[in-house]
Amino acid sequence: MSGQEYKDDSTTKELRKKGRKALSAFRAVMSANASASASASAAVASEQRRAKIDEHLASVSSNILATLIDISNTLANSGIPRVGPTEMPQDCVWDKSDEDDGDESEGEESEESEDDN
């Protein structure tokens, strides 16, 4: 399977969509948790509010986990190549060996150039 076929596969597209939704929900949970923590010490009424927020965060977290399990099960049952026993197309795989090659000064230069982007 070529990289383009992999990217164009309907299952791959659906899993990416689910992954984006889960990531978006995770970000919302983290944001809500941070704002709730900041205002939690405001008053006694905030304890009730905090309990509702905690309940909501638990619900969203459960949905995120269910989405990730669904993605994992779909990948396991779909036959789509992935990193592991069955490799994804090479142009879809991040090559970690690029980071290990070369001396440290090259790594620092590449980090600086990435920061500029």
In tens, the pLDDT along 74-108 reads: 877 777 666 554 555 566 655 555 545 444 444 44
How far are the Cα atoms of 21, 47, 55, 102, 103 from residue 17, in angstroms, in the given order? 6, 36, 26, 37, 39
pTM exceeds 0.75, yes or no: no
- For the stretch 48-72, pLDDT in tens is 777 787 788 788 878 888 888 888 7
Report the number of distinct structural domains present in the chain: 1
Residue type, 72: S
Please report how the helices 45-78 and 10-39 are oriented relative to each other, as an axis angle in degrees rounded to 10.
160
96 SS3 class:
coil
- 116 pLDDT band, cuts 50/70/90, is very low
Residues 6+ apart with CB under 8 A from 76: none
| Domain limits for position 75 | 3-116
